[in-house]
């Protein structure tokens, strides 16, 4: 099977593997000891293939690979056996994608100087981000899940896109989302299901995808996660960027709804819309832009664009969502809970619930 045909299968297998991990529970045994995980991540071990051999023949690349492994071994100590296994799978998949993205199409071929420089840059950045593969926030252990793939841009594809010699080396996919590690209660399993991200394009669609996330709030009653997404089709004028939120009521294992936050028929829609219009107008005053209230209200009242923070409710406005041209990009408006108090549901999960 060629690289293009194999990538969607890899994505499907990764998601199946994630589901299997979540069924195994949150146990920790010698299977995820530092020695075992270190051996699984050792690119320079015997039998890792020709590309690994070329990588390890370069002193700088070998040292950076070692830094990545060391960081991931330390992170693996914080998660279950299932989590440690996923860290290894994520890294192996990431390295294979970087090989292709840096232009080493034949895994048996020695990288050129330019390709070595590309690999060095990617490994250096990876060594840094590997240190945050596991986060302890709000009493939860969050593990970063990754679906990373690449496929070469052939001369035919580059020509068809109109980019010719200026086309990138590869179409890439970098999709990240959090997974709560540890004992898999029904509520935690549901959270993991709700935040899991899947590719929206096939690699053969010549569209590179990036999905990244940030945990906005995590507590016993609620977790709110921001996702930023980008889809860049070969030859398109610009990428399509957007943002969205996934907020889960952890006490019930379900997505947040309007009625969880606001009292129905309290006038909350008008209040947050007018508040957002004023703030966006202030943000873009140098452009002499005032957003249409109708466009702002349509976006501001959608629960999947609400981020919950300790401070207040953050309304996400992706590009095009508030009547502005794409060049102005997206924005956000945070309304403190104190200002929203007259409209808030007294039984809302913390930190939304008004203070007594």
Q: Domain for residue 349, yes or no?
A: no
DSSP-assigned states of every residue in 7-39: HHHHHHHHHHHHHHHHHS-S---GGG-HHHHHH
**Are 65 and 71 spatial neighbours (Cβ–Cβ below 8 Å)?**
no
**Are 177 and 215 spatial neighbours (Cβ–Cβ below 8 Å)?**
no
Torsion of CA 128, 81, 245, 220, to 10 degrees: -110
Q: Domain for residue 356, yes or no?
A: no
CA dihedral for 154, 156, 158, 164, sign (positive or negative): positive
b/e for 113-144, b at 16 or more Cβ within 10 A? Answer: eebbebbbebbeebbeebeebbbeeeebbbbb
Q: How confident is the model at residue 26 (pLDDT cuts 50, 70, 90)?
A: low
Note whether 141 and 62 are same-domain residues: yes
Note whether 247 and 309 are same-domain residues: no
- What CATH number has the domain bearing residue 125? 3.30.565.40
Note whether 112 and 209 are same-domain residues: yes
Helix, strand, or coil (residue 292)? coil
If residue 74 lies in a helix (H) or strand (E), which one and from where to where?
A: helix 59-76
Note whether 175 and 157 are same-domain residues: yes
pLDDT score recorded for residue 344: 97
Q: Domain for residue 240, yes or no?
A: yes
Note whether 104 and 60 are same-domain residues: yes
Domain count within the chain: 2
Range name among 20-34, 82-96, 111-125, 159-173 with the lowest pLDDT average: 20-34
185 DSSP 8-state letter: -
Using one digit for the tens of pLDDT, what is the confidence trace for 299-337?
999 999 999 999 999 999 999 999 998 889 999 999 999
Vertex 248: Cα angle to 93 and 276 (nearest 5)? 105
Average pLDDT, the chain: 92
**Are 354 and 346 spatial neighbours (Cβ–Cβ below 8 Å)?**
yes
The pTM of this model reads: 0.90
Note whether 243 and 272 are same-domain residues: no
Residue ending a domain, among 255, 289, 321, is 255
Note whether 97 and 232 are same-domain residues: yes
Range of the domain at 284: 258-343
Can you state the angle between helices 81-101 and 34-41, rounded to 10 degrees?
20
Note whether 185 and 269 are same-domain residues: no
Residue ending a domain, among 255, 274, 308, is 255
Q: Domain for residue 348, yes or no?
A: no
- What CATH number has the domain bearing residue 281? 3.90.640
**Are 97 and 150 spatial neighbours (Cβ–Cβ below 8 Å)?**
yes
pLDDT score recorded for residue 340: 97
Note whether 207 and 263 are same-domain residues: no
Using one digit for the tens of pLDDT, what is the confidence trace for 244-278?
999 999 999 999 999 999 999 999 999 999 999 99
Torsion of CA 260, 263, 269, 272, to 10 degrees: -80
Residue ending a domain, among 209, 238, 255, is 255
Cα separation, 326 vs 249, in Å, equals 33
Q: Read off the pLDDT of each residue in 85-106 and give the average, rounded to a whole number.
A: 96
Residues contacting 135, CB < 8 A, separation 6+: 141, 142, 144, 178, 215
**Are 105 and 152 spatial neighbours (Cβ–Cβ below 8 Å)?**
yes
Q: Cα Rg for the chain, rounded, in angstroms?
A: 23
What phi and psi values does residue 227 have, to the nearest 5 degrees?
-120, 130
Using one digit for the tens of pLDDT, what is the confidence trace for 169-223?
999 999 999 999 999 999 999 999 999 999 999 999 999 999 999 999 999 999 9
Cα separation, 347 vs 356, in Å, equals 11
């Amino acid at each position: 099977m060629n690289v293009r045909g194999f990538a969607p299968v890899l994505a499907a297998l990764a998601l199946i593997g994630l589901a299997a991990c979540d069924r195994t529970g949150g146990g920790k045994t010698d299977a995820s000891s530092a020695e075992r995980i270190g051996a699984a991540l050792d690119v320079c071990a015997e039998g890792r293939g020709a590309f690994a051999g070329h990588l390890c023949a370069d002193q700088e690349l070998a040292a950076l690979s070692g830094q990545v492994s060391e960081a991931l071994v330390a992170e693996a100590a914080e998660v279950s056996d299932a989590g440690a296994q996923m860290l290894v799978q994520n890294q192996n998949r990431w390295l294979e994608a970087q090989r292709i993205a840096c232009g080493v199409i034949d895994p048996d071929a020695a990288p050129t100087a330019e390709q070595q420089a590309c690999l060095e840059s990617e490994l250096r950045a990876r060594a840094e981000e590997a240190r945050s593969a596991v986060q302890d926030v709000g009493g939860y252990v969050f593990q970063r899940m990754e679906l990373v793939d690449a496929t070469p841009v052939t001369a035919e594809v580059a020509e068809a896109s109109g980019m010719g010699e200026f086309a990138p080396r590869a179409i890439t996919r970098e999709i990240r989302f959090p997974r709560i590690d540890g004992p898999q209660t029904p509520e935690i399993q549901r959270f993991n299901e709700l935040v899991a991200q899947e590719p929206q394009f096939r690699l053969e669609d010549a569209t590179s995808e990036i999905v990244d996330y940030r945990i906005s709030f995590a507590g016993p009653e609620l977790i709110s996660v921001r996702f930023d997404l980008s889809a860049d089709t070969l030859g398109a004028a610009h990428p399509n960027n957007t943002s969205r939120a996934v907020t889960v009521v952890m006490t019930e294992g379900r997505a947040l709804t309007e009625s969880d936050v606001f009292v129905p028929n309290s006038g909350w829609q008008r209040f947050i819309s007018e508040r957002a219009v004023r703030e966006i107008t202030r943000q873009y005053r140098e452009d002499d832009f005032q957003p249409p209230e109708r466009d702002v209200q349509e976006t501001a009242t959608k629960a999947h664009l609400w981020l919950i923070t300790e401070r207040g409710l953050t309304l996400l406005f992706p590009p095009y969502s508030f009547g502005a041209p794409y060049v102005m990009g997206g924005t956000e408006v945070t309304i403190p809970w104190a200002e929203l108090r007259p409209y808030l549901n007294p039984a809302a999960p913390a930190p939304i619930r008004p203070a007594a």
